[in-house]
A and B are shown apart, each in its own frame.
Chain A
Amino acid sequence: MAVCIAVIAKENYPLYIRSIPAEHELKFHYTVHTSLDVVDEKVSAMGKALVDQRELYLGLLYPTEDYKVYGYVTNSKVKFVMVVDSSNTALRDNEIRSMFRKLHNSYTDVMCNPFYNPGDRIHSRAFDNMVTSMMVQVC
């Protein structure tokens, strides 16, 4: 399914980033970082829309030869970026959307943890497990 899932803070530093396989980690970091350009572009383009009508899902940020990068931005401008293998044609927009929603829910749980400092890196096991489930699960 997803090969890389990243949560990026409002200030664009990574709160959480995980990828498989591990040897491509650096490449994914670059990819996710670069995708922020498009996130910024899309966010500023929809900035004028009313807050409650805003679509959090940003859609395909940009495709590369091997991967597709999808984006999602919360109302507090925390970004979720998901990289999916291009060969995985089974993944449609709707699946990606629901994955993001799951991610968002899990992230909200992390934020609700009184011991979590907003802005710190995420070390939650529950979040980790959820991400793992999204990465290995084959659709």
Chain B
Amino acid sequence: MQQQIQSMMERALSEVAQATDPDALEETRIEYLGRKGKLTSLLRGLGSMDAAERPAAGQALNRAKEAVKVAVDERVTSLLSAQDDAPLTIDLTLPGRASRPGSLHVLPQIIEEICEIFHGMGYSRAVGPEVELDEFNFAKLNFPDDHPSRDLQDTFYVNDAVVMRTQTSPVQLRYMQEHEPPLAIVSPGRVYRHEQIDASHAAEFYQIEGLFVDHDVSLADLKSTIHAFIHALFGEDKKLRFRPHFFPFTEPSVEVDLWWESDRKSGWLEIMGAGMVHPHVFANAGYDPDRYTGFAFGMGIDRIAMVRHGIPDIRLLYENDLRFLRQF
């Protein structure tokens, strides 16, 4: 019996040693150690042996099983490790399989960025119609009827009383008519000017308007707000200049210049208009100009996009060539 066990173990160990793949090894394992395996069957034969011989034979059998099991495990590990280490022979330089990512248009991107900055400064977004009453686009914003200040903005007319808004400023009025101060809003949107289109002029483009109204708001508040905003958008190191200007709906009015340095040109760049809300505009919105003061500001999104990204021609923004769109 002992001999039988010994020779079977040796056979098993030799088969294990010769196995070349884990599947064959598994078969060998089952052949000897499985429920109906050769070694396992010997164990069943123990019952018919002499009681005196049984313990020794049992021990030998267990030792043999253990030895085969260890050999199998070791062989599996060594075979797997050889298999795991086998190099994969594919061309690693072939292109991957992927769909191209899309892109967000640079104009709405900048609008979102600006709104996000102002959101952090306590501003909420307001919207208004693009087809607007002349009254809201001009008259109530303190553009006198038939006055040269109307020449500042060439207008598309729908009829005598209705225009394509030339600025986002009418949203100020509409918002104030429905809300009480204190308030802080930004209003991005599309505006229309009856202008011949060229590299720097579009007839449809984007503006963003801001309005802040409370008791005792001053020019110092305006300057502080613009500084905080420009620094957030363009960087803390940016220099600004505030110079007097004229807008019918603000007084005092300012124009804000940004010191811009690029490979092509360095200098002051007109970036936005702003000012203290004109008392007439407050009155037209139903506010008491003696109770409230406030400031408003507005800027062209297209211009900011062009400056920031070095886009040479405004028409590129509206052509929607995918080679352009995917750059931003």
Does chain A bind chain B?
Answer: no
| B contact residues vs A (CB 8 Å cutoff) | none
| A contact residues vs B (CB 8 Å cutoff) | none
